[in-house]
Structure 1
Amino acid sequence: MTNTNPIRIDIGICTFRRPALEETLESLFKLTVPSDAQVRLIVADNDAAPSAKDLVDSMAARSPFPIRYVHCPKSNISIARNACLSACEADFLAYIDDDETATPGWLAALVEKARETGAEAVLGPVRALYGDDSAGWMRDGDFHSTMPVWVNGRIITGYTCNTLLDMRSPLVAGRRFALALGQSGGEDTHFFSQLTEAGGRIEFAENALVLEPVPASRASFGWLAKRRFRSGQTHGRIVAANNGGAKRIPKALIAAAKAGYCGAVAAGFMLMPVRRNRYALRGALHVGAVMGMLGVREIRQYGTAEAA
């Protein structure tokens, strides 16, 4: 039976020197909100100076929802995500990135799935929008869109670019993003992996769509490889944390073998760029996993001018 009790929903937007924040907020102003819901926006500014405050203040006057601005000047994305968690006073907290735009039915679809399933977290799809100057293989293979990964029929980890958390769940309440991963990235993978390991469930709302333009700075094989490598490092760190000492060595060897296999297959598809690059990027992921298991420090991705 559908729950008809009134609910409160906060939407967290972490930002760092992104002019696109204005478009994100504009899209949220146009949301179709469930009739029994009250919505509030939380903007967590991760810049050393409160660079987003003037924009947020100017838009608050015409916002259909209250907006709370939080300045968390440490250039660490985990601090910004945690600021949204701490500022949240609602039943649910949704996250959307500051370079994305929500479709009108985004929030309602997330909430509907959460009510239907009782899951601690719900993920939605992120559809990449490619410019005309993007490589053909990149558009054809759609390498930038984000979807959950199912393992044996379950989603065991997640992302914060399109998600809803049930703040009433004891498995969510008090949980925080790892500060040590706040500049390298992977803090969301770590957060959701810990959630499911504790018994939490993650579900998928296919109609909860957000859109993300792919800027020229990200429209390259190098950027994709760096991101996959970092994701592999995060996975490797998690594996290492759960397998101390010599126990991690066989897993590192398996990941290394997978990296070698992916490299060989990529070479075999040299004349088929979509397949070639898909396997090459998968290889970068496995190489990153090996590095993570061996304790190699993650590359820095947040809190830099490049990240902005």
Structure 2
Amino acid sequence: MTFMIASTKGRGLERMSDKATRIGIMICTAKRPRMLEDCVDSLLAQQLAGDWQVEVCIVENDAAPTSRGVVEAVPAASPVKVRYYQEPRRGIPFARNKTLEVGLANGYDWIVLIDDDERADPTWLACLMRTAIEHGADVVSGPVRRSYEAPPPRWWKLLKPIVGPDGMTLDEAPTNNTLLSARLIRPDGANLRFAEALTFGYEDIDFFSRAHKLGYRIVWSPDAFVEETIPASRVQPERLIARVQSTAAAQVLAARLRRGAARTFATFAPKGIRRLIGGALQCALFWPGKRLGSEKATDSYYRGRLRLARGLGIFRGLFAILPNYYSTVDGN
């Protein structure tokens, strides 16, 4: 049986090529079997081209096989095979590198990265592949629609979505909705891997930034949507502050790995000092108003906390003192 792609650009149905294309969709997961099941269900519902051989590979980042049952529940007659692997070393880059090794071992031409708390639109994979082929891209990234179980605080700035046409050039990408050519990871290509020192985030931006600097083309696919539900626990004030500190630490450590300790210290230490002092002063100034229940003072107090967290994160990154933000699992 031949499956056809429904074009998102109004040009009807078409095959991508006459040669079979092997595609591996990779999911890293840890202790979130319900979310993972929803993600896998969305992948099994993808519109596939007849010249694709598509498999889903789940990498459990834990010694306990919590999610094996999700794989075992997939019908044997499913056109998409689901494979299960484990990476017992806890840490995002270890699991991500496991997906790359799996991709090489299984001989995939393209590798697609999606998070276990996301659900893909039925045309998601078709849009990513079409953009890659039409624009001669090595990497394609798509948008994430986010919904919140609880509203974020007023003082928290939401991520600004990328806005641009199909094929718009990017200089980096995350791993929450991204297609990449196996050329990036093959020994006869760039042989790239995620930096295993970045166990607390930013390993994805670092990976694709390095790919961009090597000349690999990263583009945008605005119709390749995934949806993510943000658990209420992730928008609690202390959790958001911890995230900001972890992100700052990861960015600085990534810079240190690329540029060396001395140059990185000279660049970031003054910024860290300014943010520590400024954040502490802002917290002290608005704390009394927060205690009295003033919304404006409360917002200013927490913005000071964020500034202070960025300063602390900078020095964590400079001295490679690892935050533990990702040791807490949000969702189930």
Compute the TM-score of the two structures, normalised by the length of structure 1: 0.81
**Paired AA for residue 137 in structure 2:** A
Given the alignment of the two structures, is residue 300 of structure 1 paired with residue 313 of structure 2, yes or no? Answer: no
User: Of residues 168, 187, 196 in structure 1, which corresponds to 2:183?
Assistant: 168
Given the alignment of the two structures, is residue 50 of structure 1 paired with residue 65 of structure 2, yes or no? Answer: yes
Contact 1:27 1:102 survives alignment (8 Å): yes
Contact 1:24 1:100 survives alignment (8 Å): yes
Q: Hey, what's the Cα distance between the residues in 1 that align with 2:189 and 2:297? A: 44
Residue deviations 1:244-291 (CA, integer Å, cap 9, x gap): 3543343114533773798599989x7398899779747744652343
Q: Give 1:95's aligned residue.
A: 113
1:91 to partner: Cα distance: 1.0
Q: Give 1:235's aligned residue.
A: 251
Q: Give 1:104's aligned residue.
A: 122
Q: Give 1:289's aligned residue.
A: 314
User: Of residues 206, 216, 229 in structure 2, which corresponds to 1:190?
Assistant: 206
Q: Say what the alpha-carbon RMSD is for the aligned residues.
A: 3.6
Contact 2:140 2:179 survives alignment (8 Å): yes
Q: Hey, what's the Cα distance between the residues in 1 that align with 2:108 and 2:219? A: 20
1:199 to partner: Cα distance: 2.5
Given the alignment of the two structures, is residue 199 of structure 1 paired with residue 212 of structure 2, yes or no? Answer: no
Q: Hey, what's the Cα distance between the residues in 2 that align with 1:100 and 1:3? A: 26
Closer/same/farther in 2, CA of residues 261 and 192 from structure 1, 3 Å limit: farther
SS at match of 1:4: coil
Contact 2:170 2:219 survives alignment (8 Å): yes
Contact 1:128 1:145 survives alignment (8 Å): no
User: Of residues 81, 94, 101 in structure 2, which corresponds to 1:66?
Assistant: 81
- What does residue range 244-263 of structure 1 map to in structure 2 within 5 Å? 244-253=260-269, 255-256=271-272, 259=275, 263=279
1:21 to partner: Cα distance: 0.8
**Paired AA for residue 54 in structure 1:** G
**Paired AA for residue 11 in structure 1:** I
Closer/same/farther in 2, CA of residues 31 and 282 from structure 1, 3 Å limit: farther
User: Of residues 253, 267, 271 in structure 1, which corresponds to 2:296?
Assistant: 271
Contact 2:275 2:307 survives alignment (8 Å): yes
Residue deviations 1:122-168 (CA, integer Å, cap 9, x gap): 1111121112x324637xx77268759xxxx9633321111111113
Contact 1:96 1:163 survives alignment (8 Å): yes
**Paired AA for residue 221 in structure 2:** A
Q: Hey, what's the Cα distance between the residues in 1 that align with 2:99 and 2:134? A: 25
User: Of residues 146, 149, 154 in structure 2, which corresponds to 1:137?
Assistant: 154
Contact 2:242 2:325 survives alignment (8 Å): no
Contact 2:234 2:330 survives alignment (8 Å): no
Q: Give 2:11's aligned residue.
A: none
Contact 1:128 1:144 survives alignment (8 Å): no
**Paired AA for residue 110 in structure 2:** F
Q: Which runs of 5+ in 2 are unaligned?
A: 1-14, 287-294
User: Of residues 11, 14, 24 in structure 2, which corresponds to 1:10?
Assistant: 24
User: Of residues 41, 64, 67 in structure 1, which corresponds to 2:56?
Assistant: 41
Q: Which stretch has the larger CA shift, 233-242 or 6-15? A: 233-242
Q: Hey, what's the Cα distance between the residues in 2 that align with 1:231 and 1:59? A: 36
Q: Which stretch has the larger CA shift, 185-194 or 9-18? A: 185-194
Q: Hey, what's the Cα distance between the residues in 2 that align with 1:214 and 1:177? A: 25
Q: Which runs of 5+ in 1 are unaligned?
A: none
**Paired AA for residue 138 in structure 2:** E
Question: Which segments of structure 1 move beyond 6 Å, counting only runs of 4 or more?
Answer: 264-268, 272-280
Max radius of gyration: which structure? Answer: 2
**Identity over aligned pairs, percent:** 32
Q: Hey, what's the Cα distance between the residues in 2 that align with 1:253 and 1:110? A: 40
1:197 to partner: Cα distance: 2.8
Compute the TM-score of the two structures, normalised by the length of structure 2: 0.75
Q: Which stretch has the larger CA shift, 247-256 or 52-61? A: 247-256
User: Of residues 127, 133, 146 in structure 1, which corresponds to 2:145?
Assistant: 127
**Paired AA for residue 177 in structure 1:** F
Closer/same/farther in 2, CA of residues 213 and 144 from structure 1, 3 Å limit: farther
